[in-house]
Structure 1
Amino acid sequence: MPKTGLIWLAIPDDSAYNCLSILTTAYGFIVRVINDSKGGSEMSYQALYRVWRPQRFDEIVGQSIITQTLKNAILTKQISHAYLFTGPRGTGKTSAAKIFAKAVNCHYLEDGEPCNKCETCRAINEGSLSDVIEIDAASNNGVEEIRDIRDKVKYAPTKADYKVYIIDEVHMLSTGAFNALLKTLEEPPANVIFILATTEPHKIPATIISRTQKFDFKRIRPEDILERMAYILKQKNIEYDDKALKLIAKAAEGGMRDALSILDQAMSYGDDKVTYENALQVTGSVTNELLTTYVEQVIKKDTKNALITVQKVLDNGKDASRFVEDLTSYCQDILLYQQDPQIVEQLELGMVDDKFKALSDQISDEEIYQIINELNEIANSLRYTAHPDVYLQVLTVKITHLKQLEDVSTTTSVDNADENGKIKMLTDKVNELQREIEQLKKSGPADEASQSQQMVKPKPIEAKSGNARVELAKIYPILGRATRQSLNEFQEVWPDLMNALSVTQRAVMHVSKPVAASPDGVIVSFEYPIFFQKAQANRELCDALENNLDRIAGKAPKIVFVPDNQWPKIRKDYLASHKDELKGKQNTDPKSQETPTEDEKIDPDSNDPKPIVKKAEELFGKDILDIKND
């Protein structure tokens, strides 16, 4: 018998294995069976996301800007040597890479689109073209694999015009592999194109990113996912429920592949019919009606019925984490609906009912904030527990016993009224004093003693600094080396520093100013203690100030905050406590030991500054000092 060949055997299915056993035992052949019977076990069904994978740029959903840019680059022959496709899973990165590989090698382009009919396009679709190499970096992440690419990349393509390397999940490459790839990306052959795809671009070295054209694939809008799923089901003549597709589109979280996978499950579960109940079972979601009922019970402080609702969710086999996610999303929709109903109509694809609208009028935003905070804490705890029902029950009891916000808001209103009354009283007092000063100026000179007795000096307002504490241990070292020159430098760059902050950070810092500075530190004063407290507690703000100062001024000084109403006392206490030290510095100064000339002698009755005054002028400048003789 020949060593190789094709043998056709027309035998019954029940005798097939006996015949194969005889052939294998007698001749030691490796036998491959091609089952041509209609009742064979060959798997012919393919998942929806594979069957309906885009084959043209126009079929990629929700990425029109990227696809149009790529088509224009092909039409104008402005093809780069390396591309980086980034974005969430299932948004079309690998599909776009394969379509691009077809388009640059297709000789029958149609408005920048591959024809999908020529030999090259068909070979790429089948995965049989040797010039288009797809590599999974998750399993080929070593230096040797990349070196192999580097060695083979110098050879010209065998059939196509361009040799295209598609490296998926490129962030999985090791540091050595990235270094091996770097030189090839920097100086590649003219007929080679690299397309790198990743879901985590932050893990890719900047040296790699700078040598590629970067395209950010965004999450696909639920409306676009809904439209694509409806098109596919119509092509397959499958019945579906609109609410089911909307639920699946929302559960996909911006991924087209995830949406088609869920749709596939729903079709299998419903025997080629997609219903809302099937979609709920497949996604594990909770109905909007049940969520509305639960939130209503929470608002009414009906703990008993809320616990019954939670138990009903668990009895239906719903996942506790999914219930918390759905509830968080529901609260978010209420909050957004109170601000702009149109936004929620778009996000929920028109699934907003009258109960939801009524509920948004009954609950306050403060209550929603508290509920969302509790949901976030429970969501973190559910990851590490084997008893999710306990956590859901605790959550229910907790959010149905939240502090009555009406009382809080009433108390806040009273406090605000008291504060407004104090401010108004002080404003009236200041206006009264200004009128008295104007009258005194008009009446001419008078007895200063009587005027001083008549003038009532208002007591300074002592602002409370709350829990924030002034850090004298950090302030004094800065004052010890402070100079007016350093303060001037920081005052000059202060407006630029404020512009570099975010809007929320700028809102806190808009009532601040630098009041003293040394080469390695700056003291910032706040006009209102409440902003001093916020800045003191905001570590992110301090880091932003120091980083931006480093970028703008070329130095990263230590920044210390003080309330404006306490700054004069801090300054005075420092000068008083370091008086001897300042005098000692003056005495040890070599210039002070020299015999003064007649012009340099200090008259005891003159107004020449003393050493401590000189130091104060160096620290704070002459313009803000008020010198009084004891």
Structure 2
Amino acid sequence: MAHIALYRAWRPQTFHDMVGQQHIVQTLQNAIREDRLSHAYLFSGPRGTGKTSAARLLAKAVNCERGPTPEPCNECEACKRIAAGSVVDVVEIDAASNRGVEEIRDIRDKVKYSPTEVRRKVYIIDEVHMLTTEAFNALLKTLEEPPAHVMFMLATTEPHRLPPTIISRCQRFEFRRVSLEEQAEWLQEICRKEGIAAEEAALVYIARLSDGGMRDALSLLDQISSFSDGKVTLQEAIDATGGLPAEQFSRLATAVRDSNASAVLQEIDEMMRAGKSADKCLEQLMHYFRDLLLAQLAPSASASAGRIASPAELKSMAQGFPRERLFAIIDVLNRYQAEMKYAAHPQTMFEIALLKLCAGESAADGGAAQGQTAAASLLSPAAGGADVQQLQRQVAAMERKLEELQRSGAALPAEGDAGGRSGGGSAVRGGGGWSGRGGSASGSSGAPKVARQRIKLDPFVASRSSPLTLQALGKWPQVLARVKEERVTVHAWLVDGEPVAYAEDTVLVAFRNSIHRETTEKPANKQVIEKVLSAALGHATQLATLLQKEWQEALADGSRAQADQPEELQLGIDGGGAPPGEPLVEEAYKLFGEDLVVIRDE
């Protein structure tokens, strides 16, 4: 047997060949022995873990001429023809290309007829999550009450996309990723039987890249053995798969640790000259730093979970990085990987990401050191107390001015003014009702940034449960779909946000990530979103944004303010209750809701 097309040659022919899924195999075999087979099975799990293979094996086991048997013989006419796909009673359907209701109706019409060639009719529907809603509805009745001679086997990588009514009518088996040790052992056995000379390190590298999928591991072994003419070495495996050697990752990590921007650019230049892909290199580098973090937090698990380097190398390199910096590095790389999908020059994004890693921490450390030095100088006895007293007087004056502005209802001063905060930090006041992010740049060398308009949060906090808010938020899926049609890049940033309230013809959206929020706030992007919002709600509607932590702080401040109210005022705010002996007011609350009813004493 030639060593090419290894996956076809080594596709599981018996349940014994199902590597890493012993718990599922034992359950199915026991069900066959005790004649307790279900009418429908749902096989879910990552790709390449044996879901469709298990369905074919089960179809052979129940229709084997020597059975039903826990192990198909693979020698009788039924087993051979089922394996070749020439039995009309065993139908395999790809739901990705046959997802309509007509295909399912055709199945529903044919299941009532008895099988003509084998014992039981078997329908294997692969990628079943791709079926349309109408197709699922057509399949539902058949799954609920199928004829005794029919079995359904559904396979999917995304079970969460199946309706609960479908899942509840199937026996579900969750296929797991194959462990690194099992994969390496099985690849070694295949190489021995195929006459392929393979280094153990190369097989471990293949197993790491396959990420628990035996199909991917066999495909990679097939590719590398063809590339190396039957002899698989670690270096040839790296070259054939377009990967990077562990030594290059070590050099990159060392350059980042030492903030050596010149060495980083030199390594990137070598990668690009070798024909590597910038996005692939960034992805693998992120996995490498993830393995470094794992070597620190869970040394016992790093041996089986590392994908790039050996555990000993990872442990040695991880000692040079503080844990917090590893978290920050992974966060930066992950952010730039997402942005690289839309970049015109991915290599430039890759270079900027690594240069930021080199420059970011040293600048942060320098700023922190300066802050600590300044604080120490202010609080030290040598300062004589004069600077501290002057600072206290300035703070007291600013607080008085702020209180006067709040009492008079005037707008708060812009950041960078004498009465406000300077710099680019964010500001939130739930009780005072404003939220904003600084805009003026310090120094006169650059053009000043436009200050973000502050948002009064009090109306949004008060109306977060109102009927108008619920109506507006209920149309958010339509808004997202329409924005995606208008401009898919704007949709990619907007999906990170969650609408939280509606007030004064404005939808307030809270974002988890500041970059997503800032990109959404760009005038061109915001104009697209507001256009869609206005069309969906039927009137001119504006968009306001903030971070989720700012919204949570505003809600907390609102709750504290409510708790400070007198008991008689809380009655009208919390319980929606009316003054005793006022049945008309109670009825008004029931009809229109407490947010639309205003009580005046005449």
Category of TM-score, reference length = shorter chain: 0.5 to 0.7
- How many Å separate the matches in 1 of 2:565 and 2:461? 9
Kept after mapping to 2: 8 A contact 1:291/1:327? yes
- How many Å separate the matches in 1 of 2:233 and 2:316? 27
What's the CA shift for 1:575?
Answer: 5.8
- How many Å separate the matches in 2 of 1:188 and 1:568? 58
After the TM superposition, which residues 62-461 of structure 1 pair with which residues of structure 2 at under 5 Å, given as runs?
62-108=20-66, 112-348=70-306, 351-352=309-310, 355-404=313-362
Counterpart code for 2:431 = V
Residues 468 and 166 of structure 1, relative CA distance in 2, 3 Å threshold: same
Kept after mapping to 2: 8 A contact 1:223/1:349? no
Kept after mapping to 2: 8 A contact 1:306/1:396? yes
Counterpart code for 2:90 = V
Q: Could you say what secondary structure the match of 1:262 adopts?
A: helix
Kept after mapping to 2: 8 A contact 1:474/1:560? no
List alignment gaps of at least 5 residues for structure 1: 1-42, 418-464, 479-535, 543-558, 579-583, 591-630
Q: Which residue is 1:443 aligned to?
A: none
Kept after mapping to 1: 8 A contact 2:177/2:212? yes
- How many Å separate the matches in 1 of 2:145 and 2:3? 44
| Match among 541, 557, 561 for residue 562 of structure 1 | 557
Kept after mapping to 1: 8 A contact 2:14/2:71? yes
List alignment gaps of at least 5 residues for structure 2: 377-425, 434-457, 464-546, 573-577, 584-602
Q: Could you say what secondary structure the match of 2:212 adopts?
A: coil
- How many Å separate the matches in 2 of 1:336 and 1:281? 26
- How many Å separate the matches in 2 of 1:77 and 1:362? 60
What's the CA shift for 1:92?
Answer: 0.4
Q: Could you say what secondary structure the match of 2:243 adopts?
A: coil
Counterpart code for 1:235 = K
| Match among 568, 571, 574 for residue 565 of structure 2 | 571
1:220-267 CA distance string (max 9 Å, x none): 222222222111111011101222111111111221111111111101
When the two structures are superposed, what TM-score results if normalisation uses the length of structure 2? 0.63
- How many Å separate the matches in 1 of 2:156 and 2:551? 29
Q: Which residue is 2:431 aligned to?
A: 470
Kept after mapping to 1: 8 A contact 2:39/2:151? yes
Counterpart code for 1:126 = A
- How many Å separate the matches in 1 of 2:337 and 2:307? 26
- How many Å separate the matches in 1 of 2:206 and 2:555? 52
Counterpart code for 1:279 = A
Q: Which residue is 1:613 aligned to?
A: none
Residues 568 and 388 of structure 1, relative CA distance in 2, 3 Å threshold: closer
| Match among 18, 42, 59 for residue 60 of structure 1 | 18
Q: Which residue is 2:411 aligned to?
A: none
Residues 575 and 140 of structure 1, relative CA distance in 2, 3 Å threshold: closer
- How many Å separate the matches in 2 of 1:266 and 1:308? 28
- How many Å separate the matches in 2 of 1:400 and 1:362? 14
After the TM superposition, which residues 11-30 of structure 1 pair with which residues of structure 2 at under 5 Å, given as runs?
none
Paired residues, number: 424
1:455-495 CA distance string (max 9 Å, x none): xxxxxxxxxx97342277469969xxxxxxxxxxxxxxxxx
Kept after mapping to 1: 8 A contact 2:127/2:155? yes
Residues 410 and 345 of structure 1, relative CA distance in 2, 3 Å threshold: farther
Kept after mapping to 2: 8 A contact 1:168/1:197? yes
Residues 407 and 47 of structure 1, relative CA distance in 2, 3 Å threshold: same
- How many Å separate the matches in 1 of 2:23 and 2:551? 35
What's the CA shift for 1:282?
Answer: 2.2
- How many Å separate the matches in 2 of 1:364 and 1:250? 26
- How many Å separate the matches in 2 of 1:173 and 1:225? 32
* CA-based RMSD: 3.8
Q: Which residue is 2:590 aligned to?
A: none
Counterpart code for 1:467 = V
Kept after mapping to 2: 8 A contact 1:291/1:330? yes
- How many Å separate the matches in 2 of 1:354 and 1:213? 43
When the two structures are superposed, what TM-score results if normalisation uses the length of structure 1? 0.61
- How many Å separate the matches in 1 of 2:562 and 2:266? 62
- How many Å separate the matches in 1 of 2:163 and 2:136? 8
- How many Å separate the matches in 2 of 1:71 and 1:146? 29
1:402-431 CA distance string (max 9 Å, x none): 1336567779999999xxxxxxxxxxxxxx
Residues 539 and 100 of structure 1, relative CA distance in 2, 3 Å threshold: farther
Q: Which residue is 1:623 aligned to?
A: none
